[in-house]
Amino acid sequence: MTDQMISADVIGEHNKSNEAALGSDYAALGENLSRRGIDIEAITKKVSEFFVAVPSWGVGTGGTRFARFPGQGEPRGIFDKLEDCSVINELTRATPTVSLHIPWDKTDPKDLKAKGNSLGLGFDAMNSNTFSDAPGQAHSYKYGSLSHTDAATRAQAVEHNIECIEIGNAIGSKALTVWIGDGSNFPGQANFTRQFERYLSSMADIYKALPDDWRLFSEHKMYEPAFYSTVVQDWGSNLLIAQTLGDKAFCLVDLGHHAPNTNIEMIVARLIQFKKLGGFHFNDSKYGDDDLDAGSIDPYRLFLVFNELVDAENRGVKGFHPAHMIDQSHNVTDPIESLISSANEIRRAYAQALIVDRKALDGYQQDNDALMATDTLKRAYRTDVEPILAEARRRAGGAIDPIAAYRKSGYRKKVAGERPAVVGGSGGIV
């Protein structure tokens, strides 16, 4: 029996008052889908089996270099964070695992595991941090970490990653995600080639420490914190890394880490085709690495990414099991609400992709009937699948409208009373 942060009563009462409307909408949608040859129950089942990991660092309020404006009841440490994560899962039944960031979440693995167990939460990919200096650290990452010119600094960064693997191993994680900020701010500051050689060498050292059943995810990003060049700047460099390291190395795609106008879904398709898609950091963006809620800016793009995933499923791509994780920064919303909403949007995109008439699509593609092909995607996309998502939640013990139920529960107010207020402000970084 797991601890519940949100009482079953709150959820039960909420669902009760929304069941009739949901029933009506679900029936109408079922009838519509049935006319299109789709069994709504099959979709609901697949949706209810689709999960996405939440990031431990995502339940605290984010910020920018200009300021951070904390909210009420900010989590004080990893145990508070896990409780907040549990709230999300209890209401959505879509997020049974948490992704940790070390050293932020560093503590005795036994305690982590026990807390996870008590909340019914597992642990997804581990995340290392060599983009900032931890107190007392021997060598600074100011000029790089895994690709630093100094061997001792590189060794320290490698060591830290190996420690992340060890912690992860103790708590049941099966993957390490490596994102670094290494790069340069000025032309000439770094020799691109030597820097990449050093990076590859450090990564090879980490790779050696990887247990057999683990995967190593490297994450590319165009810029920030480095503003002229970044070592793993795009999927091309990322692919070279995964190819160089070996079969357990894969590329991680963060939707906000690309150049303007990039066709991300095509990159996803290429990585799948060449067996190197490791998984995702879901979020949305309008400008740069904005880390906004998944689907909040360009929901059709999110759908198109899932269209590739479902296409790969349908083609029976061998060994295809990408990791689904959220990576967002919640600056103006209650982080719990944003994560609930994002998990829902991700499932929405998946559900829409599932109801694409793939046989018809294939025919239109063969015939170069561009209009009907794109219309086939659009018909699926514009279907309001919320009744499916709500019903999947309801059946699994979650809430029909999880944000409404969360607000009703008074959880934020409760933790605001328990957790001391945090002062925000600016470090004057500008």
Identify residues 88-127 at the interface with a second copy (CB under 8 A).
101, 104
Give the integer Cα–Cα distance in Å for 74 and 424: 11
Which stretch in 92-100, 113-121, 207-215, 223-231 sits in contact with a second copy by CB under 8 A? 223-231
CB of 291: closest distance to a second copy in angstroms?
8
Q: Residue 218: helix, strand or coil by DSSP? A: strand
Task: Check residue 82 for interaction with a second copy (CB under 8 A).
Answer: no
Task: Check residue 134 for interaction with a second copy (CB under 8 A).
Answer: yes
Task: Check residue 288 for interaction with a second copy (CB under 8 A).
Answer: yes
Phi and psi torsions of 176, nearest 5°? -120, 130
β-pair partners for 132: none
Q: Which are the contacts of 164, defined by CB distance < 8 A and separation ≥ 6?
A: 102, 126, 127, 128, 176
Give the integer Cα–Cα distance in Å for 200 and 193: 11
Task: Check residue 320 for interaction with a second copy (CB under 8 A).
Answer: no
- Residue of 80, 124, 311, 391 that binds a second copy (CB under 8 A): 311
CB of 213: closest distance to a second copy in angstroms?
28
Cβ burial, residue 236 (10 Å; 0-12/13-18/19+): exposed
Q: Do residues 178 and 206 make contact, with C-beta atoms less than 8 angstroms apart?
A: yes
Which stretch in 38-46, 114-122, 132-140, 412-420 sits in contact with a second copy by CB under 8 A? 132-140
Unique residue bearing structure tokens 């090879």: 204
Give the integer Cα–Cα distance in Å for 245 and 278: 14
Give the integer Cα–Cα distance in Å for 377 and 295: 17
Q: From the CB of residue 41, how many other CB atoms can be counted at a distance below 10 Å?
A: 12
Task: Check residue 79 for interaction with a second copy (CB under 8 A).
Answer: no
Q: Do residues 206 and 250 make contact, with C-beta atoms less than 8 angstroms apart?
A: no
Give the integer Cα–Cα distance in Å for 90 and 68: 28
Q: Do residues 145 and 201 make contact, with C-beta atoms less than 8 angstroms apart?
A: no
Q: Toward a second copy, which CB reaches closer, 192 or 211? A: 192
Q: Toward a second copy, which CB reaches closer, 7 or 185? A: 185
Hey, which residues between 11 and 40 contact a second copy (CB under 8 A)?
21, 24-25, 28, 31-32, 35
Q: Residue 186: helix, strand or coil by DSSP? A: coil
Task: Check residue 283 for interaction with a second copy (CB under 8 A).
Answer: no
Size of the site for a second copy (CB under 8 A): 132
CB of 246: closest distance to a second copy in angstroms?
16
CB of 255: closest distance to a second copy in angstroms?
14
- Residue of 1, 187, 319, 418 that binds a second copy (CB under 8 A): 187
Which stretch in 108-116, 159-167, 211-219, 294-302 sits in contact with a second copy by CB under 8 A? 294-302
Q: Residue 410: helix, strand or coil by DSSP? A: coil
CB of 403: closest distance to a second copy in angstroms?
7
Task: Check residue 7 for interaction with a second copy (CB under 8 A).
Answer: no
- Residue of 292, 309, 349, 415 that binds a second copy (CB under 8 A): 292
Hey, which residues between 352 and 411 contact a second copy (CB under 8 A)?
361-362, 364-368, 370-378, 381-384, 386, 403
Q: Are strands 122-128 and 277-282 parallel, antiparallel or unpaired?
A: unpaired
Q: Toward a second copy, which CB reaches closer, 120 or 155? A: 155
CB of 70: closest distance to a second copy in angstroms?
9
Task: Check residue 141 for interaction with a second copy (CB under 8 A).
Answer: yes
Q: Residue 244: helix, strand or coil by DSSP? A: helix
Q: Toward a second copy, which CB reaches closer, 50 or 300? A: 300
Give the integer Cα–Cα distance in Å for 342 and 75: 20
Q: Residue 100: helix, strand or coil by DSSP? A: strand
Task: Check residue 160 for interaction with a second copy (CB under 8 A).
Answer: no
Hey, which residues between 188 and 217 contact a second copy (CB under 8 A)?
188-194, 196-197
How far out from the chain centre does Cα 1 lie? 27
The residue type found at 94 is A
Which stretch in 90-98, 106-114, 163-171, 226-234 sits in contact with a second copy by CB under 8 A? 226-234
CB of 67: closest distance to a second copy in angstroms?
3
Q: Toward a second copy, which CB reaches closer, 169 or 376? A: 376
In a 13 Å sphere around the CA of 282, the CA atoms on its Cβ side amount to 32
Q: Toward a second copy, which CB reaches closer, 50 or 223? A: 223
